[in-house]
Structure 1
Amino acid sequence: MKNLTLILVLAFMSSLTALASEYEEAMKAQIQKMNNISSDAEAQDVKNGFLRIAQANMSEWLPMYYAALVQTEAGLRFDVDKDAYFEEAQSYLKILQDAGASNSEITALEGYIMMGMVSVDPGSRGQSMSGPTMETFGKAIGQDRSNPRAVYLMAQMERGIAQFFGQGTEKACGMFKMSLDLFEKEKEKIDENYLLPSWGYEQAKQMYESCN
């Protein structure tokens, strides 16, 4: 009887390991595709791939997070109905939040989506949305001060506000430098778990270089 129980336990553990391996391989493939998106059609294909992984792995937050990220960046990069794309990205984050997921990456992405909405019509939306967007980035930094994306995105918002009002961008440039330092420190953590968010370094670097 003990031998049978041991066999069943080992079989169960083996099946869990196989499922975990399948999840990681599927995520790795989608992240590689995400990093090479060149059109909205490709973005939608990658987004749908993440949604399928999310449906099969309801306890994981990363697939839905990446689906929201892909849709956000598609809205920023391509000639599409931007508000519709940002609203769809928000709906994916709401699924995570309703399920109790809460961390600095999710909050920073929430702010990123809000920033995208402001960019659609900064003249009419900036006054009402800039404050809440900055507060969201501040919350993300408070959740994890080592998150470079939270700092980089806040710097980008700070720079946009300063330029809109014809003010200096010294504060934003300092924050871009801070984010680059955090990206360097993050590399070891990403090496240990390559599925975690690691995007933003090249954008932050370009922003900082434009300061000089």
Structure 2
Amino acid sequence: MQKLILLVIILVSGFTAAQTNYEKGMQKAFALWQDNKMDDAENMFERISKAETKEWLPHYYIAQINSIKSWNIKDEAVLRAQLEKAQEHINSAMAITSNNPEILVMQAQVLTNWVAFDGMTYGMKYSGKITELYNKAEKIAPKNPRVVFCNSDWAMNSAKYFGQDTKPYCDALEKSIELFATFKPESSLHPTWGKERAKQVVKGCED
């Protein structure tokens, strides 16, 4: 009996240590990112993704970093390399967890990078897919603030483009800010971004 208890303790301790190493690595990557060392953070997430093959979050953050870096890029070759890398890691994340609203939002963000780069070429190709992704995410997680914010922001920009009334989307954006105030992520490693950006967009509604 004592041997069995000892074995359980060893197994649990080993599991805890493995989790702790993962968490330490992720926190280190976040710290690098916060210090504006995005490439170093990305490299750290890549190392973690190779070591922790059942974790989707490292892939998610690699995709997010490449999406962020792609805004305002004018060189299509650079943009393509970054967004293809983002897509590769989104695919890896989706293979680990299905119907995940956070990943659906990130997929929509990456496709939006293409539309922002060249609306004439990629708007027709991806606009419907982006709307579909956000609507699917909102059906799964209607109280996730990133889902509500990104869906509303995309819909509002589409309405602006077509000269339509944007007020209904402003109301939804305000709702997302309320959701940010009460939303509890699954862990300290899960996504929390979006609140400040949502506030900026809502302020634009008021101007």
Which is worse superposed, 73-82 or 125-134? 73-82
Listed as ranges, the matches of 1:11-50 within 5 Å are 11-37=10-36, 42-50=37-45
- How far off its partner does 1:8 sit? 2.2
- How far apart in 1 are the matches of 2:166 and 2:31? 34
Aligned to 1:148: 145
Aligned to 1:75: 70
CA separation of 1:44 and 1:78: change in aligned 2, threshold 3 A = farther
- How far off its partner does 1:78 sit? 5.4
1:210 is paired with a residue whose SS is helix
Structure 1 segments unaligned to the other structure (5+ residues)? none
CA separation of 1:128 and 1:171: change in aligned 2, threshold 3 A = farther
Aligned to 1:194: 188
Runs of 4+ with >4 A deviation: 77-80
The one of 103, 108, 126 equivalent to 1:111 is: 108
- How far apart in 2 are the matches of 1:102 and 1:167? 31
Note the alpha carbon deviations across 1:55-89, whole angstroms, 9 max, x for none. Answer: 11111111111111111111125566223212211
- How far apart in 1 are the matches of 2:32 and 2:173? 27
Aligned to 2:5: 6
The one of 67, 90, 93 equivalent to 2:90 is: 93
Structure 2 segments unaligned to the other structure (5+ residues)? none
Listed as ranges, the matches of 1:145-184 within 5 Å are 145-184=142-181
Note the alpha carbon deviations across 1:119-168, whole angstroms, 9 max, x for none. Answer: 11112322232111111111111111111111111122122212222333
- How far apart in 2 are the matches of 1:152 and 1:33? 26
- How far apart in 2 are the matches of 1:115 and 1:151? 16
Is residue 43–residue 71 contact of structure 1 (8 Å, CA) maintained in 2? no
Note the alpha carbon deviations across 1:12-71, whole angstroms, 9 max, x for none. Answer: 21111111112112212212332342xxxx322211111111111111111111111111
Is residue 61–residue 101 contact of structure 1 (8 Å, CA) maintained in 2? no
- How far off its partner does 1:5 sit? 2.7
The one of 192, 199, 206 equivalent to 1:205 is: 199
Aligned to 2:51: 56
Aligned to 1:65: 60
- How far off its partner does 1:198 sit? 0.2
